Structure formats: C-alpha cells, structure tokens
Structure 1
C-alpha cells in the first residue's frame, strides 16, 4: 500500500468507527481487525501504519465527528506529514478544502465541560502484567524489555508489541495482563488468607485472581456477575493461575442479592467493581468517549448506587465494602461513596493507603497523568459492629 492508500484506508475504517459509536456497534479494535481480514494484500507494516493513523485521529477528537474524513482532516491540520497524503492520487484521499468539516479537538465530549482535561487521557496506555504470587515472584520473571511498574509490587511493564499469550510465563499461569492501577485498587481491598470474600461484579475475573493471590488461595472467594459470557471466562483463567478457591455465581439482573442469599451479613470483604462510564480507560479505548452521554452516565450512576446497597447486605458487622470504578468522574467515585455513607448511618470510610493517587472524598483517585495508570477511584467502607 502507498502512504496515500493507507490514509484512505484509515478514513474508511474511521467511517465505520464513527457509525459504530453512533449506533452502539463494534469497538474500534474489532472494526480494524475486520477491515484487514478481507484485505489480505495489506502487509504488517501497512496494518500498523493504518492503525496508528486511525487511533491518532480518534485521540484528538473529543466529540463524535460527522465522518471519518472529518477526523482525519483535523489530524492533517496538525501534522504536515499527514496533510501531504491528501494529494488526490490513485487510491488516496482527495485534496483538503478549507470549507470541509473537521472534528473538534478535545480529550472528552464538550458536554463534560473540560472536567477530564489535563488528566493524561490523550497518551497511549502501557501494557502491564501482574506476576501471580501463587506461582512466582516478580524477580523470578525475565521477559525481554520488561521493567517493574513504579508502584504495584507485583507489576511488570512491557514494551509495545509483545504478544503476551505467546509467552511461556502466560501459558503456565505465572503472569496475567492487568493494568497497574487495577493491581493497586485490588491491593487496597486488603484481602487476607482465610477470609470470606465476594467479588460482586467480577466480569471475567481479573480482580478475582488478584484477590485469590492476596488470600494465598486460602479461604472462600465468590465471583459473581450478571453476564454469563464474561463470567464463564474465569474458570480457565483460574485453572491456569492455580486458583482453587474461586466459586462462580451468576446473578439475576435486578435481583442480585438472591443468588448470594446464603452470604447475607457473612462476608468479611465485598468488592464492587461496578459498571461505569469507563472514562479511566479512554487511553485504551479512545472512541468510547464518543459513546458516553449524560443519559448513559445517569443510568450507570443509578446502577452503581443500587449495587452498592445490595452488596452492603452481604457484609458482616465490622466487614468491608470496597467501591471501585474505572472512572475519573466524581459522581461515580467520591460522590457515589459519599452518597452511600449518607444512606447507611454508622458506616465509615477507612483511609485507603496506596503508594500513589490523590485523596478524593472518602477514597483515592488514580489518574494517568499523576500515577501513570488507568483512571480509578477506590473507597473502603466499613460496616459498624
């Protein structure tokens, strides 16, 4: 592919990404993969160059562009080497006109009013691993180019392009892919061997496995979620990691407490990594900013509130409820924790001790700019005895 043809390919992919964001369709990564699956003539260098153009255009556009070309033209306005590709050559994009639409610059939708500016969301996210303490220590892992993460004691940061699932350390369960921020908020849960712990919104089980390692695979650990497909991924991951204490419970949407009735007021620790806006992960999924609306934010905030109230009923007197969101917005983080404490007299927020992060209401917020991690909020809420 010529450089001009790569630019045109990026525009075509961006058109699909824009449409998918508007219509709740596939993620950008999926669209890129599908595009090249039917274009075998594109070599690895072509695919890499096109992908870089696509994501560069996405990252600089805060609001949903009208077209993929509008996103790419805006990028061309800032980068002369991109502008040169709009020369009207065969298979390349037509020349740029002064009047044509351009995507507005920004790290977030304009309706958020700059609340996410200067938090590092425009940067690319690193690839982090968690060394599985059940099978290894960080100093035992020797992967070319890997360096210890700055804050998480079991974290390793890999150079770009490493195929993790091809590593022998992954195959035998010594490592898991997990952002350093996710590792840190898991540590904030202070899970201990012998505990009864519930990962209330376990998803595919990334934090479940981290909790199991902290518990030294001793005690009782329940992984629950309303999404059967996501939860089903945990079993093979747990087997590979050598985790034997994880039990899976499928939640019934709207009646989450019913599936865990036998744990009412019995758990030492309940972790609620609630569904959220995902603003903390926008470095990894930058087109997700085009999908967030005020209405969607309102819905997830209401869901988080309900899940916390249900989960609170599972915590034994003196036990801990941990509220986690991969969000940088206060209504999902500090505001949500404060609202919970107001609804539940007697509960208190225990200080969160982490090697990085800023105090935010009753908890701690991690940001890409300050901590070099995905964005997270974590608060530990203690039930009265």
Structure 2
C-alpha cells in the first residue's frame, strides 16, 4: 500500500468508529477484508487511527470537519506533511481537497479543542492536575511507551533485557519500578518472542508495576486481588510475594478466563475464584482494589475512553468505586491493609475517594498515598493504603 492508500483506509475505518464501531473491531474488520495489506500496512493504518483518536477535536478543526476525512486531513497537517501529496485522487489515494478543505484549520479554538478534551471535563482536569494540566493533556496525545514487567519468578531484569536483545528487541530498565523494562525498538515483536512466551516478561505499564512496589513493605501470607480483571496485578503480586497465597476475584469472572494460562506461563501460583466462591471472612493480609475507573491515566493507550466519558458516567464510576471499597473492607484481616488503585488522574476518583472512605469508616487511617502522572514515564495511576487504627483492633 502507498502512504496515501493507508490514509484512505484510516479514513474509512475512522468513519466506522464515528458511527459507533469500537476502534479494535473496526480495525479488525478492515484487516480481514484487506488481505492485500501486509503487516507494515496494518501497523501504519493502526497508528493513523489511534493518532487521530487521541487528538480528535483539534484535528477536526485543522481538517475542517468531524469526519474520518476531516480528522485524517488534520492529522496529516499536524505531521507537517503537504496534504496535496496524500489527497491526490491517484490510485487508492483520497480525493483531492476541496476549496473549503484547503481553507480549513483557522477556526478559533476553545480550551477543550486546544487540549483535546471534552469541554465539560476541562475545569475538572485543571482542578485535578493544577499546573501540570496542560502538560498532561499534551502527553495524552502522544503514543504510550511499551512497558514490560520482569517476572522475578523466572529471571532478573538484566537477564530479561539480554534475552530480548538476542531476539532483536531493544529495551532498557526504567526507574519507575524495580521490575520495569521499556521497549525502545521492536515492540510489535514482543508477543511472539520466546522471552514473552516463556514467561520471562509480561506486558504491564510501569506505573501499574509501581502500585505493586508500593506494597513492598508488607509481609502478607494471603492476598486478595478483589478486582482482578485480566490478572496483570495478580501476576505481579505472585512474583513480588512468592510465599503468599494469591486469590484473584472479579465480579465478572469471564474477565479472568485467560489468567490460569497466564499464571502457568509465568510459574505463578494464583487461585481464581468466582464471586460465589470467595471466602466470606476477614482473613486477607492485603486486599487490593484496582477499581473500575475513567481510565484517564491511560487515554493515550485507549483514547476512545476520553470521548466516551460523561459527567453522568464519572458519577456512576465514583459510586462503584465507593461500593467496591465498602465491600472489600470486610475481607481485610484485623491488622491487614486495604489497597486502593485507579488508572485515573481525576481527583474525584482518587483523593476524594480516600476522604470519603475515611468518613464512612471511622477507625481507619491512610498509611500511604501516591500518584504517578504521565511525566513519570508510565500511565497516570493513583494508590492509597488503609489500615485499622490500633484502638479499633484491640
């Protein structure tokens, strides 16, 4: 495919997304119907689509319309490419620009357009991030780095980096976590590499790894990952606390369907339980609640979430987070720790949840609290650790 044909394919895919199709489904459908497209073509089209999704509002202004064509025109302009080289109408290239498209891109921009955020979210974004708000918005438009977690059950970080190098994947240690490796070249080869298939490394964001590092002062015998999802943190917990019993639970058990195979590959011991099989006892030394959230710290990876979030949905999520904490607290041993985490940078999901939890649960205190932003290298994350006051235990 020519560069122009790749842009035309991205335009068609983006129109499907604007009509309501999930991005991954639209990309998969195009790939299945485009057998002529090689791996480099598919990667380039995917990059166009996700690059456009991250900056949809500002690119629509630069392209003159909130359509696949307008947004991809804005993307081409933002990359400093002459649109006439792409929009030529030759072969499978997009049709030449109209006079209106040639003149587009000079409209005044609101803060929401300039920052590529929903307009309603701008005040909350600024209130949550303060002086870093504009830098976080800019960083959210960039492609996220690919992080790997060293599986300490099988190897060391240096050995993992060497093993990846032997397979043509360039990577280096990252300071965000003692287990973090960031891939600098060859990221698309990771999932097919021996290092990954043999369980030496796992795909996991660096800040997500740091959330587990924050528990390193504990010596738990039993750990409950209460909102396990796909199981990334359960696997990290199993590697960080190899002597502990790790129990993975999720209210939607189908989310954990791949976890037994992932655990076997990693050499990790994890017990997967459905809600009805979760022991009804306060017997866990650590209960981790990686709660459902806006995902605002990971919007550069999943930019559709940015445009789907509404005030009503945020209110729904904060209510769910409070409910999760209120349920999970019953599983914490008397001298245990309740750990809360989100991949969000929004204050209502983070520090406000901490304050409200303490109001609802007298006799509990915060032991530790930490936030990571995109400027730390990984995704935006927040964590807090609660424990009972000594007076309430006795």
Contact 1:327 1:333 (C-alpha < 8 Å) held by counterparts: yes
TM-score by length of 2: 0.84
Cα–Cα, structure 1 residues 237 and 78, in superposed 2: closer, same or farther, change >3 Å?
closer
Q: CA RMSD in A?
A: 2.3
1:132 is aligned to 2:151: yes
Cα–Cα, structure 1 residues 172 and 34, in superposed 2: closer, same or farther, change >3 Å?
same
Name the counterpart of 1:359. Answer: none
1:67 is aligned to 2:93: no
In structure 2, stretches of 5+ residues that fail to align are: 61-65, 126-132
Name the counterpart of 1:199. Answer: 225
Which digits, 9 at most, give the CA deviation of each residue in 1:137-157, with x for residues without a partner? 112221221110122111111
1:57 is aligned to 2:52: yes
In structure 1, stretches of 5+ residues that fail to align are: 252-257, 352-362
Q: What secondary structure, in the 3-state scheme, does the structure 2 residue paired with 1:198 have?
A: strand
Q: Distance in 2 between matches of 1:51 and 1:382?
A: 45
Aligned partner (choices 296, 315, 328) of residue 311 of structure 1? 328
Name the counterpart of 1:234. Answer: 259
Aligned length: 359
Q: Identify the range of structure 1 (374-383 vs 160-169) with the bigger mean alpha-carbon deviation.
A: 160-169
Q: What secondary structure, in the 3-state scheme, does the structure 2 residue paired with 1:226 have?
A: coil
1:222 is aligned to 2:247: yes
Shift of 1:86: 2.0
Contact 1:274 1:304 (C-alpha < 8 Å) held by counterparts: yes
Aligned partner (choices 337, 340, 349) of residue 323 of structure 1? 340
Contact 1:198 1:267 (C-alpha < 8 Å) held by counterparts: yes
More helix as a share of residues: 2
Name the counterpart of 1:109. Answer: 118
Q: Distance in 2 between matches of 1:80 and 1:164?
A: 31
Q: How does 1:180-329 map to 2 (within 5 A)?
A: 180-190=206-216, 192=218, 195-216=221-242, 218-244=243-269, 246-251=270-275, 259-262=277-280, 264-329=281-346
Name the counterpart of 1:146. Answer: 171
Q: What secondary structure, in the 3-state scheme, does the structure 2 residue paired with 1:81 have?
A: coil
1:9 is aligned to 2:28: no
Q: What secondary structure, in the 3-state scheme, does the structure 1 residue paired with 2:312 have?
A: helix
Which digits, 9 at most, give the CA deviation of each residue in 1:46-71, with x for residues without a partner? 33332232222222224896421221
